[in-house]
Amino acid sequence: MKRAHILLKMLQHFALLLACLLLIFAAGKAVFMIYNRSVEAFTLGDMAQVWRHGLSMDVSTSCYLLTVPWLCALIWLAWSRFPLRRVLMPYLFVVCVLLAIIICGDAFLYEFWKFKLNATVFSYMSHPEGAASSVSTSFMVSRLLGILVFGLLTFGLMKRALGGEAEASGSQPRHPFSVSRRLLSIIAWLLVGGLIFVGIRGGVSRSVMNLGVPYYSQSLFLNHSAVNPAFSLFASMSKSKDFDSQFNYLPEGERAQAFEGLYPQDTEDVADTLLNVRRPNVLIVLMESFGGKFIRELGGLPDVAPNMSRLIQQGIFWTNYYSNSFRTDRGVVSALSGWVSYPTTSLMRLPEKLNGIPSIAQSLAREGYSTTYLYGGDIRVFGQRGYLLQTGYETLVSDADFPLSQAHESKWGVNDSLTALRALQLVRQMPSDRPWHLVWQTLSSHEPFEVPYHRLEDEKLNAFAFTDHCIGLFIDGLRAMPQWKDLLVILIPDHGFLYDLTYQDPAFFHSPMLWLGGAIRRPRRMDVLMNQSDLAATLLGQMGLAHSQFPWSRNVLSSLYSYPCAYSSYPGGILFADSTGVSVYDITANEPITEQPAPSPERLRRAKAILQTSYDMLGR
C-alpha cells in the first residue's frame, strides 16, 4: 500500500470519527431539549439554532477526544508493530460509556438542577442514597436503560467509523515504505495534530473555547441546550474548588461581627437627589484601564486626559471611587452586577455561578428598557458574551459587526474612534417609545496600544490620550443630539493600569467616576468613599428602583450608608479603605504590605471578613 493511500485512509477514519462524535453531540442536544420540554417550550427553529451555536464547542470537545487516536496513529507511523486497533477499541468503548452517562445524565438532572452538568455532581456521589430516595425505582431503572441504549448505539457508531483498516494496519509487521518516507508521513500527521489543536482552541482568533461561546439567546434554557455537557463537566472540574473552605481567617462569630454593617441591605432611601429625570436613558462608558493615574484632578498625570478634565467641570465627579479589581473580566462584573471581586478566580469564567446574579440591565429591563452592549473586540473572550446574555443584554455589538479592515486595524479590535461613531449611531437608532440602556466598552488603551493618534511620545500614554480624545468627541456629539435632554452618561474605568504603579499601591485602584448628561441636576463633586460595585445600587436608588437583590452593592447616597469603605482585590492581596486610612494585605504571605497613615488591626480584620464572606458565598 502506498504511503499516500495509507495516510488518506487514516484521514478518512479520523474524519468519520469526528463526524460520529458531532452526530452524537447533536443527538444529545435533541435528547436534552425534548426531555426537558416542560422546562421551556421551543420550536424546531430553536433546535436548529442550538445546533448551530453549539457546533464550535462540539468540535472542540470532539478534538479533545480525538487526541488519543491521533497520538496512537503517530506511534504506529513510527513503530509499525504498535497494536493500533487493540488500543483504540477499548478507548472508544470507554469514551462512549462516559459520553452516554454525561449526555443522558445532563438531560435527566436538568429538570431538578436547572444548570448544566458540572463538578457539583461529584459532591453528591459520596451520598447517592439521598438522590435515590428522591425518585422512584421505575424512574431510576428507566433512566439507566436510557443510558445503556444511548451508550450501545454510540459505540456501534464509533466502531463502524473505526472500520477494519485500523486492524489491518495494526497487524502489519512493518511499514511498506522507507525510513525517509516514514519521516514524511510523521511530519504530515503532525500537521493533522495542528488542525486538532486549532479545533480544541475553537479557531485562530484571540478568544479560546469557553463555556460562554455557545450562548446566543436571552433564554437560559436555549443557551444551556447549546453547551456541550462533556465540555461543561470537564471545564468545571478544572476550575472546581472548595471555595467556602478558603481564606478562613476568622472564627464564624468574629467574621460575622467584623462584616456587620459593611454592606447594609436596606438602603432604599435617598438622602441626596442628583437627577432631574426619574427614568433617564442610561449610557455607561467602560473606559479600558483608565485609572486615576491619568486624571489630573485625582493627582494623576496632567496632560493625558484634557477632555476628562474639561468634562469634570460639567458633571458630577466622584473623587473617592475605588475599582474592585485588576482585570476587565472582573471589573465588568463588579460594575454591571454590583458584585465583589475575587483575587483567585473570575466570576465571569464560572457560568455555573452566574445563575441568578443581578445586573443593572436586568433591573432596567424590568422597567421596560431596551439593553445594548457595544465592544470593539472579541466579545467571546473570558466568557463575556455568555455573561452579558445571561445578565440581560438583548443586543450585543462586537468586532464581528464591523468590516474586517476595521476589526483587524489593531490586534485587540476596532479602535475607539470607530466604536464611538457606532455608539452615536446606536443612540440615534434607539426607540423613542421606550427608555434604553447602552454600555460602550472602549479598548484602545490596552496592549498593544496601536492607535491612529500621535500627540504624546510615550505609546502607552498616547493610547490613553487617544481614548480621552474619542470620549471628548463622543460626549460633544451626544450633547448636540435631542437625546441629551433625558440622558445620563456614566464614565468609569473597568480597572486601573500599572503605569509606574503596583497592585500594592492604593493609587492603582483609585479611579474616576463622572456622571454627565441632561438628566443631572447640576455639576458637583461627590467625596463619599465607595466601590465600583456600589454603582448599581446607587444608580437604581437615584431612579427610585429596588436594589435589595444586589448583596454586594450599596446605595452610597442612603442615610443608612453609615460606614463608608472600599474593598479591592488582586491575585496576591486585598485592599481596604475607610475614614481612618487604607491597608493592603498580602494573602500569600499573610502579612500587611501597606498601612496608611498608620497600622490598623481593625482595617485588616474587616478586609479579611469581606474576603472570607465572599468566598463562603461563592462556595454555596
pLDDT for position 121: 65
More confident residue, 269 or 612: 612
Nearest-5° angle of CA 579, CA 584, CA 586?
155
Answering whether pTM is above 0.85, one says no
Q: Which three cell numbers stand for residue 345?
A: 478566580
Amino acid at 325: S
DSSP 458: S
More confident residue, 385 or 351: 385
How far is the C-alpha of 215 from the C-alpha of 206, rounded, in Å?
18
Q: Which residues pair with 322 in a beta bridge?
A: 510, 531
Q: Which three cell numbers stand for residue 560?
A: 443608612
DSSP 120: G
pLDDT for position 335: 98
Each residue's pLDDT tens digit, 23-48: 999 999 999 999 999 888 999 999 99
Residue 177, pLDDT above cutoff 60? no
Provide the pairing of β-strand 370-375 with 395-397.
parallel
Task: Tell the burial category of 572 from Cβ atoms under 10 Å away from its Cβ (0-12, 13-18, 19+).
Answer: middle
Each residue's pLDDT tens digit, 356-380: 899 999 999 999 999 999 999 999 8
User: Which residue, 3, 2, 6, 7, is CA-closest to 190?
Assistant: 7
Q: Which three cell numbers stand for residue 222?
A: 436555549
User: Which residue, 253, 158, 271, 216, is CA-closest to 538?
Assistant: 271
Residue 1, pLDDT above cutoff 50? no
Each residue's pLDDT tens digit, 260-295: 999 998 888 888 899 999 999 999 999 999 999 999
CA dihedral 329, 335, 340, 344 (to 10 degrees): 10
pLDDT for position 171: 44
Q: How confident is the model at residue 133 (pLDDT cuts 50, 70, 90)?
A: very low
pLDDT for position 170: 41
Q: Which three cell numbers stand for residue 452?
A: 491612529
Provide the pairing of β-strand 566-570 with 316-322.
unpaired
Residue 466, pLDDT above cutoff 50? yes
Q: Give whole-number Cα distances, 501 to 112, 292, 494, 577, 592, in Å.
A: 49, 11, 17, 18, 18
DSSP 198: H
What one-character-per-residue DSSP string does 384-404 give?
HHHHHHHTT--EEE-GGGS-H
Residue 76 C-beta-side C-alpha neighbours within 13 Å: 27
How far is the C-alpha of 311 from the C-alpha of 474, rounded, in Å?
12
Asked which of 204-218, 240-254, 308-322 is least confident by mean pLDDT, the reply is 204-218
How far is the C-alpha of 277 from the C-alpha of 613, rounded, in Å?
37
Q: Give whole-number Cα distances, 206 to 93, 198, 327, 418, 569, in Å.
A: 35, 12, 17, 20, 26
User: Which residue, 534, 517, 548, 526, is CA-closest to 272?
Assistant: 526
Provide the pairing of β-strand 395-397 with 524-526.
unpaired
Residue 166, pLDDT above cutoff 50? no
Amino acid at 285: V
Residue 334, pLDDT above cutoff 50? yes
Q: To the nearest whole number, what is the mean pLDDT of the chain?
A: 89
Asked which of 87-96, 207-216, 288-297, 527-536 is least confident by mean pLDDT, the reply is 207-216
> What sections of 133-251 are H helices per DSSP?
137-162, 165-171, 179-201, 220-226, 229-239
Q: How confident is the model at residue 202 (pLDDT cuts 50, 70, 90)?
A: confident
Chain position carrying cell 460595585: 533
Q: Which three cell numbers stand for residue 598?
A: 498608620
How far is the C-alpha of 297 from the C-alpha of 299, rounded, in Å?
6
Kindly give, in sequence order, each residue whose CB lies less than 8 Å from that of residue 147, ignoring residues fewer than 6 positions away: 100, 101, 104, 105
The distance between the two most distant Cα atoms of the chain, rounded to a whole number of Å, is 87
Question: What are the φ/ψ torsions at residue 433 (nearest 5 degrees)?
Answer: -100, 5
Q: Which three cell numbers stand for residue 595?
A: 498601612
Question: What are the φ/ψ torsions at residue 356 (nearest 5 degrees)?
Answer: 85, 0
pLDDT for position 546: 93
DSSP 548: T
Cis check: omega of the bond before 448, within 30 degrees of 0: yes
pLDDT for position 127: 46
User: Which residue, 495, 430, 484, is CA-closest to 315?
Assistant: 484
Choose from 190-194, 216-220, 234-238, 473-477 the range with maximum mean pLDDT.
473-477
pLDDT for position 85: 83
Residue 175, pLDDT above cutoff 70? no
Residue 547, pLDDT above cutoff 60? yes
Domains of the chain in start order, with CATH, are 3-228 (no CATH), 241-262+565-620 (3.30.1120), 275-555 (3.40.720.10)
Q: How confident is the model at residue 128 (pLDDT cuts 50, 70, 90)?
A: low
Count of other CB atoms within 10 angstroms of residue 511: 30
How far is the C-alpha of 231 from the C-alpha of 272, rounded, in Å?
49
Residue 125, pLDDT above cutoff 70? no
